[in-house]
A = this chain, B = another copy of it.
Amino acid sequence: MINSIPEPAIKRLSALYQLLCRLEVSEVNAISSREIGDRLDISAHTVRKDISYLRESQTSGARYTVLKLKELIARSLNFATSRKACVVGLGKIGTAIINYSRFSSYGFDIVAGFDSNVNIVETLPAETDLFPSYMIPEIVKEREIELAILAVPFEAAQLCVDRLVKGGIKGIVNFSSALLTTDKNIVITDVDVTKELRVLSAMISLGSK
């Protein structure tokens, strides 16, 4: 049993997992904590510390075997568990996400889409069942949906979150620019292209690379 990995370490280990998947495709077999740190912009010490949270972790001096470390993270963080997800907001981003077929191969089944515009719900070509937004609490509960991808405009975000919470949602990927608040212990992560552009812009300005 491990349930004591701190949240920042979980985030870094998930980024490391993604890196290892990519290294595997590029046929890289082994990597050092220093090389990992360079790739993820963290110190080699942090890399070793994060890996030490995992069960049966290798000794820290050696290079890590890409495939073994990847499997160890997947097992420790429970990536094999399949989870049901929904998309809220079927504008351009939401539609792109709901029609992205690869999620299921990563263990995420998109089982519902929601939009406040009934015309969109009735006419959008999608392989997923679509519903009007007021049905969020009912459908989330009925289909045991754990994760939501929120792609609605700023103004609509909090109302949608409240409905998701009512249905028993556990985690939200937030594409809206709203600052979401929930009473309960729901995990929220923000995706923001503008923020990414700003980071690059600052790094170019300050010549940090």
Residues of chain A whose beta carbon lies under 8 Å from any beta carbon of chain B: 2-3, 5-8, 10-11, 13-15, 17-19, 21-23, 25-26, 41-42, 77-79, 81, 83, 85, 91-93, 95-97, 99-100, 102-103, 106-108, 146-147, 149, 154, 170-173, 177-179, 185-187, 189-209
Contacts and interface: CB of A to CB of B under 8 A. Distances in A.
A197 B85 contact: yes
A200 B179 contact: no
A120 to B, nearest CB: 15
A189 B171 CA distance: 24
Task: List 10 A-B pairs, minimum CB-CB distance, nearest first.
Answer: A171-B200, A92-B96, A22-B179, A78-B205, A77-B202, A14-B199, A187-B203, A173-B196, A185-B209, A170-B204
A107 B99 CA distance: 30
Given A14-B202, A106-B197, 15 more contacts: A7-B209, A8-B42, A11-B41, A78-B201, A78-B205, A78-B206, A79-B198, A83-B201, A96-B96, A103-B197, A147-B201, A171-B200, A173-B197, A187-B209, A191-B196
Interface centre among A25, A106, A170, A200 (most CB of B within 10 A): A200
B3 A41 contact: no
Given A22-B177, A22-B178, A197-B103, A205 B7 contact: no
Contacts of A179: 19, 22-23, 25-26
A102 B93 CA distance: 14
Contacts of A192: 18
Contacts of A7: 41, 203, 208-209
A191 B93 CA distance: 13
Contacts of A173: 193, 196-197, 200
Contacts of A23: 179
A168 to B, nearest CB: 12
A179 to B, nearest CB: 3
Contacts of A19: 179
